[in-house]
Structure 1
Amino acid sequence: MEKHKFIGKSKDEAIQQAKISLEESNVDNLFINELSSKKSLFSTKVEIEVIEKDEIIKFIKEYIQTLLKNMGFNIKIEVFNKNNTPLYKIYSDNDSLLIGKNGKNLKSLQILVGQAINKEINQNFKFTIDINDYQEKKERNLIRLAKNIAREVSQTKVEAKLDSMNSYERRIIHNALANSSKVYTESCGEEPERYVVIKPKGE
């Protein structure tokens, strides 16, 4: 993964240099990490490190392929863009072992790959791993659950506390009910036991 460094009198100026040098007009296609900002009496210097997002996406795919191959899995990976976030769909004949009970192994894989990329670029990078559409099916089930409980809450006017979920699962619940006129959602508790509460809106 190729990293580029640029220095400017401001972060914006350094970014402009990066866009020109890398021939990239859309800054959203660049991953930017501010390395340092030095101020003196007469000037300011800002140094940034820039990685093209396509390079990061490719790095993650290759990392997953190498990791699972070394573990003895025969897999195929396809990369999609879902809500501006890379989605890595893994297909395998041994999907039950890769997914694990209640998705435990899939969660571990997501964390492991996340730690590897964060170490490489010194920042968090959002991406999602799915195995044989497990996450997609789970998302549909969570949306169905959210709407069913929201219906009960709106009728009884009694808030409902859901089981603890990871940030990805909580976000699905929040998004599913974001436009509801009858209920609203809140995340409560501390990681890894954070959970969503569905509450009735006042009349």
Structure 2
Amino acid sequence: MSASDVRVEATGETVGEAKWAAVRELERLVPGFDRESVRFQVVSEGERGLLGVGYTPAHVVAEVSAADATPGTSPEAGSAREFVERVAAAIGASVSAAAVEREGTVTVTCSGADLGLLIGKHGQTLDAIQYLANAMVRAGGGEHIVVVDAAGYRARRTTVLDALAKRSAQQAAGTGRRVELEPMTAVERKIVHEALKDDPEIETASEGTEPNRYVVVLPRHFVD
């Protein structure tokens, strides 16, 4: 472990949950780090006792180099961070924000006790703040794309939506009938469309009106 490495330990009911907890803590300590660079050590895979008695949680250690996060020093990065903090304060969310810049994208990562309020239902509040942050950067003549995240919410939500998309595709292809998903934001609908765009057996479309617009998964061969 070098002097620039950051190391955390975390537990969970499963190894996967323990790793998620470790990643969330790393995001708080090293905003903007490359997830692919995280090194995990599984200390214990956990154990479920008989009838729930004697439960032992899974335990992991995660390390990442602080050098993997590039501090955002551009005017857009600083402006985006300050904007997000001001908006968060305006809605009553006590959070702190850190901005990092990589390849034309400024990622503003928020941490604090009120992340649920900042995220909103299915990320609606977070998406709205991200939209406004991008509009602010564009109005100032900037060209960076701004991504606003909160404790790894976007990665976790993307994983959930990707799994939902694949299950819905299997259902639509297997039954020959359309599958309607729950209303989603434009950002989340795009994730579903992207996840299924190369599936030869189904196609997707968005229907309805905002804020209740939703994705429909359609089999290419319908059952009468």
TM-score by length of 2: 0.54
Closer, same or farther in 2 for the Cα pair 1:104/1:186, shift >3 Å? closer
Aligned to 1:151: 170
**Shift of residue 175, structure 1, vs aligned partner:** 0.9
Matching of residues 1-203 of structure 1 within 5 Å: 54-68=74-88, 73-79=94-100, 81=102, 85-121=105-141, 126-202=145-221
In the alignment, the residues of structure 2 paired with residue 152 and residue 164 of structure 1 have an alpha-carbon distance, to the nearest angstrom, of 18
SS in structure 2 of the partner of residue 127 of structure 1: strand
In the alignment, structure 2 segments of 5+ residues that lack a partner are 1-73
Percent of residue pairs identical: 26
Greater shift, 104-113 or 151-160, is seen at 104-113
Closer, same or farther in 2 for the Cα pair 1:191/1:85, shift >3 Å? farther
TM-score by length of 1: 0.59
In the alignment, the residues of structure 2 paired with residue 75 and residue 189 of structure 1 have an alpha-carbon distance, to the nearest angstrom, of 36
In the alignment, the residues of structure 2 paired with residue 135 and residue 198 of structure 1 have an alpha-carbon distance, to the nearest angstrom, of 22
**Shift of residue 81, structure 1, vs aligned partner:** 4.5
Closer, same or farther in 2 for the Cα pair 1:81/1:144, shift >3 Å? farther
User: How many residue pairs were aligned?
Assistant: 148
In the alignment, structure 1 segments of 5+ residues that lack a partner are 1-53
In the alignment, the residues of structure 2 paired with residue 175 and residue 182 of structure 1 have an alpha-carbon distance, to the nearest angstrom, of 15
Q: Kindly provide the CA deviation profile for residues 34-87 of structure 1, in whole angstroms up to 9, marking residues without a partner as x.
A: xxxxxxxxxxxxxxxxxxxx43333212322344467572414243548x6433
Closer, same or farther in 2 for the Cα pair 1:143/1:178, shift >3 Å? same
**Shift of residue 171, structure 1, vs aligned partner:** 0.8
SS in structure 2 of the partner of residue 79 of structure 1: strand
Match of 1:116, as an amino acid?
M
